[in-house]
Amino acid sequence: MTTALIADDEPLLAANLAERLRALWPGLDIVAIAANGVEAVAALHARRPDLAFLDIRMPGLTGLQVAQAARDTRVVFVTAYDEYALHAFEHAAIDYLLKPVTDARLAQCVGRLQRQTAAPPDLAAALAALAPRATAPALSWLTVGHGDTTRLVALDEVLYFEASQKYTDVVTRSERHLIRTPLKELLLQLDPARFAQIHRGIIVNLGAVAHIQRDLLGRQQVHLKLHDAVLPLSRSYAHQFKLM
């Protein structure tokens, strides 16, 4: 029986992909569904699946980083990346699914995987081609609208970012601004040494964190130094603070 891992930080999308894969491939055994990159690497080592469907944009480790731990596992990237990345995948014969994944494209991918008998291709070419994007300089300031004017907000001023439907709230000590960049896209532009995702809808400035507290129900909450907001810390992201 063919085994598979699915890794996506959006549970509904992961569950939907699993359901559709089972319908198209009754003999496929989905042995693990990981909610982030760290869980995905652990599952790769523990379960050694034949296939891994990896979302590229995940907290902790990206799908590209997780793929480096895939030795005898054939990787399928599930991505909303632009054509630059897709060209790199095609050039290296790497399987990928572009979000939102259509039924026809998923069926095509499944058919190809069922027919493949050769060893998984070397991922080095695709990952090397994507390296320039991974090393792009992090943001240092944001452009935000303020009435009839445009303002620059330094990243040092930002306490946290919060998803707001299709937009993102930028919260400073005394103001709240709305930008059009989605949270997932914004995360890729931030310095991971300064900002961390703590919830599917929240990114926090690590320098603004005062302490992390567990309530009576066992839920973890992030308290800030200069703001009275109390932010939820999801279990999927708690590993980032184990040494704090």
pLDDT per residue as tens digits for the range 131-187: 544 444 567 888 887 666 777 889 999 999 999 887 899 999 999 999 988 888 888
What is the number of domains present in the chain?
Answer: 2
Same domain, 207 and 230: yes
Same domain, 155 and 76: no
pLDDT over 90 percentage in the chain: 43
The CATH number linked to 217 is 2.40.50.1020
Find out whether 209 and 226 touch, Cβ atoms under 8 Å. Answer: no
Write down the pLDDT at residue 3: 97
Other C-beta atoms lying within 10 Å of the C-beta of residue 214: 10
Gyration radius of the chain over CA positions = 20
Q: Which helix (H) or strand (E) holds 214?
A: strand 209-214
Same domain, 210 and 194: yes
The string of pLDDT tens digits covering residues 97-134 is: 888 889 999 999 999 999 987 777 666 555 665 554 44
Write down the pLDDT at residue 131: 53
What's the whole-model pTM score?
0.56
Q: Domain boundary at 90, 114, 134, which?
A: 134
Q: Which residue range(s) make up the domain with 24?
A: 2-134
Is the pLDDT reported for residue 31 higher than 70?
yes
The CATH number linked to 70 is 3.40.50.2300
Same domain, 89 and 116: yes
- 84 confidence band (pLDDT: 50, 70, 90): very low
The string of pLDDT tens digits covering residues 195-238 is: 989 999 999 999 999 999 988 888 899 999 989 999 999 987 88
